Amino acid sequence: MPSLPPIRPEDEAVAKVRGNTGAFDAPPVAEEDRVRFDYLLRLGDDSLILGQRLSEYCGHAPSVEVDLSLANMGLDLIGQATHFLEYASKVEGAGRDGDALAFRRDVLDFRNCWLVEQPNGDFAQTMARQFLFSTWQKLLFGQLTASADEMIAAIAAKAVKEVTYHEELSAEWVIRLGDGTDESRRRMKEGLDWNWRFIPELFEMDEIAAEMTSRGIGADVGSFREEYDRKVRAVIEQATLEVPSDQRPILGGRRGHHSENLGHILAPMQYLQRTYPDATW
């Protein structure tokens, strides 16, 4: 496969795909819709990037059953992303559809959290990441089912059923590996430790999140932090592991500041659309 244009680091934690990207320069969104548009990007980008991450496991999981499970979870997430990004495109009203938002935005324009862009690592690290995110996403979508935005509420109502399965499956693996052999226990402990620093960002309430909450559209993520901590702690204790110590939080994904990992995800994901921006099929 031909190589992509080079990736240039913008700072210590940011990379940007350059060259013949076929990027879409959209006109500014009307102020009354800008916040809703940005919020929808956050919801869609979280699911899109984690779905892409899980797709990397296709054919590489420990067993056929697990391979199919991860593939199905990835498809669920891509489906969620499709709905949120298509709706975002309508709110934006700039002539680009959900595919354009997924495949023709540069890395600095993505609004996903840091947790979902982290490398798969070994199977334990992948399951630890999935458990920590899916537990949060289920609580998030649970609140969004009551959103004043009927479209967001409808998408969340469908997605929360899917995410319930994601949470249950990943929790089972956390317990199985944590309470398994010395090797599996060590790997799960390391997987939880690796992903732990990204949890605080999930509960960050910046101006956009606060405004969407005040309008009855978004979810107040702070309101379910205690429930999240309780659920996570219960699974970790059942896995006979200790809850990781608090670490220095990593923030910025909601504002477009990402690790180099996101650029590495987008490079193969966006290759075809950026190389042949006018292609149709």
Question: 40-68 burial string, b = 16+ CB within 10 Å, else e?
Answer: bbbbbbbbbbbbbbbbebeeebeeeebee
Burial class (CB in 10 A: 0-12, 13-18, 19+), 188: buried
The closest alpha carbon to 98, from 112, 78, 118, 115, belongs to: 78
Domains and CATH numbers, the chain: 12-19+30-273 (1.20.1260.10)
The 8-class DSSP code of residue 203 comes to T
Spatial separation of the C-alpha atoms in residues 189 and 261, rounded to whole Å: 22
Spatial separation of the C-alpha atoms in residues 264 and 119, rounded to whole Å: 10
Residue 16, strand partner residues: 8
The predicted model scores a pTM of 0.88
E strand or H helix at 8, and its extent? strand 7-11
Spatial separation of the C-alpha atoms in residues 80 and 75, rounded to whole Å: 9
- Each residue's pLDDT tens digit in the chain (281 positions)? 334 334 333 333 323 322 333 444 444 555 568 999 999 999 999 999 999 999 998 888 888 888 899 999 999 999 999 999 999 999 999 999 999 999 999 999 999 999 999 999 999 999 999 999 999 999 999 999 999 999 999 999 999 999 999 999 999 999 999 999 999 999 999 999 999 999 999 999 999 999 999 999 999 999 999 999 999 999 999 999 999 999 999 999 999 999 999 999 999 999 998 999 888 77
The closest alpha carbon to 181, from 100, 239, 243, belongs to: 239
